[in-house]
Amino acid sequence: MRTEIQTVSLRNRLGRQLQHGDLIFWIVALLFAVLVVVLLGAIIAVTWHGSSDARHAFGWHFLTTSAWNPVSGQFGALPAIYGTIVSSIIALLLAAPLGVMIAIFLNSLCPAKLRMPIGMMVELLAAIPSVVYGMWGIFVFIPFFRSYISTPLSKTVGSALPLFSGPVNVGRGLLVAGIILAIMILPTIAAISRDVLAVVPNSQREAMLALGATRWEVIRHAELPYARAGIVGGMMLGLGRALGETMAATMVIGNTPKIHASLFQPATTAASLIASQLPNANTELHSSALIYLALVLFLITLIANSIARALVWRVSRTGSGA
Amino acid sequence: MEQRFVGRRYRRRVLVNRLMLILTVLATIISLVPLVLIIVYVAEQGIGSLSIDFLTHTFRPISFGNASTGGGVLHAIVGTVIIVGFSLLLAAPIGIMAGIYLSEYPGNSASTAIRFCVDVLSAMPSIVGGVTAYVLIVQRVKSFSGFAGSIALVVLMVPIITRTTEEILRLVPQSSREAAIALGAPKWRTTLTIVLPMALSGIATGVLLAFARAAGETAPLLVTVLGNNNLTYDLFGPMQALPLLAYRYTEQPYQVLNQQAWGAAFLLVVIVLGINILVRIFTRTRSPR
């Protein structure tokens, strides 16, 4: 009798302590969720540890020197960082106005019937694997670009402007990479701008319309200022995507770790340098330098994305982006 | 006089209005052009190289004699299924459970930290995951392997699955949870038997999207899986995958292999866009409910 009561009360106490299994469930869910943190921690720790050779050998000079010679063991990341940033900025300059225009079109001009299919098509651009963009760049876009744009440009304007100077060899180079990247980041910018424009309250539009504004004036003076921070955030997210994009850049940029003034000359990006050299790196220092480069790339994209998220978050939270 | 001034100004405003609206239409058309061009070109080139041989044979060495037949991509299809399938096995439980945690236990400091990590991971360049798997596995074992590729892809898939799971679970009405709790069910039972089944299709959507994303990813595989011309089921050796094969064959000087690269690219686009379109149609018809 007594022992029975004891076991029952023990069971109750155990049940209460485990909250009828809820404690176990909470612990299991938390463990899996913490795995995500562990994953991120492992990535940082592994790249940090793996790059220790290069960090000790070059330190901060890694970021400011431009010699990249695996044979003599000299590694400077400047050309890769330059190529990454310049190609991404070209992409952003091309994609940002287009993306915002698409968002405006879909949000306030598009007939309701077309809205879904066009929005979906733009979003599908983001789903196409990057290697397919790279192949299309090599087989279709570069031949077209070389014969109709870069060769004529370098022969005429190129002699005066070093930015467009020749010779245009195979046609792989910074500008081509920037254009392909622009196509790839367009959906990101369009989608976020569209979301942000959609939360502009109707009262703002109605106020403008009541003052006699045209449709464009409503967009220009009511919608865009309201959504500005969010749109800039979308652009930064697109920039982040362009900075880290590997395959398309690898295939069309030419993979030459040198800095040229001309946009038609082959260059390289951090991601494409890693992708093309890491599998063949045969000295410790070489692979360590590439891992260091990966760490630097991670930090650059992290900064771009943090700014982006802060901006998008501000609009969706407070509503006002001004 | 005054009337004319207003009229001219008004006409200018109307003109600007019309011009800018036309510009937005033009911008949309310009942006859709590459999509159409790419899909048409991939389909045109890809369908031409599809055949039974293409799907059922592996790489055949190219010599001057048999330059017209280049074998097939069976080894790459098998490799993609094994590598991505294995990483899905690892990523799905982590992502789903993390999503459950974030939606069912919101608002504490742990979930804020975890959500931050998910954001960072989802924005991380895929090559960084590849480099991590390279250092952690390839350098240690001194061998490229499909396993290392799977690990690199896990990093890519977890944030996608976590985020979609969290978002879908939040859509489950709070009243359903309260009803279960009012009947005396503990939280774990409520979550597993009431909330999860209601959100199952949405979670499946997230897993499918993650699969599509990982199947098309090349860069992390390039530094971990390397590539292999033979059919292999060994996850711990170099393997081949469809995007990897498309990349390698593109860089080859042989027309036959370039053609096969387009075939592989076509298969990839069909898989990836197919999943994306299906998911979109599926979620669209369900959401108004």
| Backbone torsions φ then ψ of A200, nearest 5 degrees | -65, 125
The answer to whether the beta carbons of residues A33 and B110 sit under 8 Å apart is yes
Considering only CB atoms, which chain B residues are within 8 Å of A240? Answer: 123
Chain A, 259-278: which have a CB under 8 Å from a chain B CB?
A: 271, 274-275, 278
Is residue A19 within 8 angstroms of chain B, CB to CB? yes
Mean pLDDT of chain B: 88
Q: Which of A102, A104, A274 is facing B127, going by the closest CB pair?
A: A274
A20's CB contacts (< 8 A; 6+ apart) are B186
- Condensed to tens digits (0 to 9), the pLDDT of residues B210-239 reads 999 999 999 999 999 988 888 889 899 999
Give one word for B184, left, alpha or beta, with left for phi > 0 and alpha for psi -120 to 50: left
pLDDT tier at A321, thresholds 50, 70, 90: very low
> Strand A68-69 relative to strand A74-75: parallel, antiparallel, unpaired?
antiparallel
Q: pLDDT above 90 covers what percent of chain B?
A: 63
Q: Where are the domains of chain B?
A: 2-46, 74-285
CA distances from B197 to B136, B183, B190, B200, B201 (A): 37, 18, 10, 5, 8
Considering only CB atoms, which chain B residues are within 8 Å of A25? Answer: 186-188, 191
Q: So what CATH class is B74-285?
A: mainly alpha
| Backbone torsions φ then ψ of B239, nearest 5 degrees | -125, 180
How far apart are alpha carbons A254 and B14 in whole angstroms? 47
- Above 80 in pLDDT, residue A165? no
pLDDT tier at A19, thresholds 50, 70, 90: low
**What is the least distance, in Å, from the CA of A155 to any CA of chain B?**
27
- Above 60 in pLDDT, residue B1? no
Contact check, Cβ <8 Å, A36/B126: no
Considering only CB atoms, which chain A residues are within 8 Å of B114? Answer: 33-34, 36-37
Write out the H or E segment, with its range, that includes residue A74: strand A74-75
- Condensed to tens digits (0 to 9), the pLDDT of residues A228-257 reads 888 998 999 999 999 999 999 999 998 888
Considering only CB atoms, which chain B residues are within 8 Å of A81? Answer: none
Mean pLDDT of chain A: 88
pLDDT tier at A129, thresholds 50, 70, 90: very high
Write out the H or E segment, with its range, that includes residue A68: strand A68-69
pLDDT of residue A263: 87
- Above 70 in pLDDT, residue B289? no
Q: Which of A25, A42, A301 is facing B132, going by the closest CB pair?
A: A42
Contact check, Cβ <8 Å, A47/B189: no
What is the per-residue burial (b if ≥16 Cβ within 10 Å, else e) of A123-134?
bbbbbbbbbbbb
DSSP A161: -
* A22, A28, A32, best to mutate vs chain B, most B CBs in 10 Å: A32
- Condensed to tens digits (0 to 9), the pLDDT of residues B162-214 reads 999 999 999 999 999 999 999 988 889 999 999 999 999 889 989 999 999 99
* B6, B101, B127, best to mutate vs chain A, most A CBs in 10 Å: B127
pLDDT tier at B287, thresholds 50, 70, 90: very low
Question: How many other C-beta atoms are found inside a 10 Å radius of the C-beta of residue B30?
Answer: 13
Could you tell me which chain B residue has the CA closest to the CA of A16?
B186
pLDDT of residue B38: 92
- Condensed to tens digits (0 to 9), the pLDDT of residues B134-145 reads 999 999 998 999
